[in-house]
Structure formats: C-alpha cells, structure tokens
Amino acid sequence: MAAMPLATAEVCDANLHPIIKGELRALHPIFQIYGRRRVFAGPVATVKVFEDNVLVRELIEEEGHGRVLVVDGGGSMRCAILGGNLAQWAQSRGWAGIVVNGCIRDVDEINGCDIGVRALSSHPMKSGKKGAGEKHVGVAIAGTRICDGEWLYADADGILVSRTELTV
C-alpha cells in the first residue's frame, strides 16, 4: 500500500483548492532529515507520547504496510523516543517512514536504514518505559493537525498532509 512518492512542491502547485480548503496542509519546516529514504509517503498512523516510547514500539512491531508513523512526542528535547533498534524494526516491518515531534538517537544507525525519518533533533538519552500515551488519536504538530488514516508526503522540500491520497 506504499504511495508513489510525489514532489511536495509540485503537489502544492497543482492543488490550490485543497490547500485553501485545509484538506492539504504543510507542516512548519522544523524537522531534520534522517534515514536513507529521503522521499517517502503513505497513510498515517498516529501516536501521542511524552518522553516514553513503549507505545511507539508497539506500533512499529505491527506490519507497516507502507504506512508513516507520526509520533507526537510533545516536542521534548530532553530525551530520544526513537533509536536505531526501532528504526531497524520499522524498516523490517514495512513502514515507509516515521515523523517524530521530538528527538531520536543512534543517528548513524538510523541513517543506515532504508526508511524515512524526520525529527526535531537528536539526543543521547533514552526515554522512559511506562507505556503512557495514546495510539490512533489526532495530534497537532508543526502547526498542523494530523489524524490517523490521512496521507503524508515528505521530501527535501518539506512535509505535506492530505485528507486523501494524492495523484499528480
């Protein structure tokens, strides 16, 4: 179910009406690019956590089917909520990408994975393991509300979220 990667700038140029109607949104340009897959797209699965990655691991252990995991980590810069082991799991389980509103660690390991990762920054400390948070809920990150089942498109120009799958 992996979406065909589209150039985000071309998508914006060709979809003025969905942008005006709020059906196509661009995330604020706050994310760093990690992973070998520089361009990725797919249906969204969401998780909301804070300095705890138990639910992130639970979702990544599911078959990805070309989905993109959007992790609202509350923008915390105090620890990483995704590391190299989870990125390798995500790659092996068929996830297209992971967008983290927070930090990652094991950057060299993640950069070796064939998966797209976006995060605010890197941090060497690992997260807590209490299992707090919510899966498959609407999240608000980078100035945009993102819901489970929407479509995410990422490339070097930025990240777009659409209510429906896009074609050019």
Identify which of 11, 82, 81, 74 has the alpha carbon closest to the alpha carbon of residue 41: 11
Q: What is the Cα–Cα distance from 136 to 125, expressed in whole angstroms? A: 26
Q: Is 22 labeled as ligand-binding?
A: no
Q: Is 157 labeled as ligand-binding?
A: no
Q: Is 83 labeled as ligand-binding?
A: yes
Q: Which residues is 46 bridged to in the sheet?
A: 70
Residue 32: CB atoms within 10 Å:
14
Q: Is 111 labeled as ligand-binding?
A: no
Look at strands 32-34 and 116-122 and give their pairing. antiparallel
The residue type at 117: V
Length of the chain: 168
Q: Is 93 labeled as ligand-binding?
A: no
**Secondary structure E strands in 63-130:** 68-72, 80-82, 97-104, 116-122
Q: Is 133 labeled as ligand-binding?
A: no
Binding residues for Mg(2+): 106
Binding residues for substrate: 83-86, 105
Binding residues: 83-86, 105-106
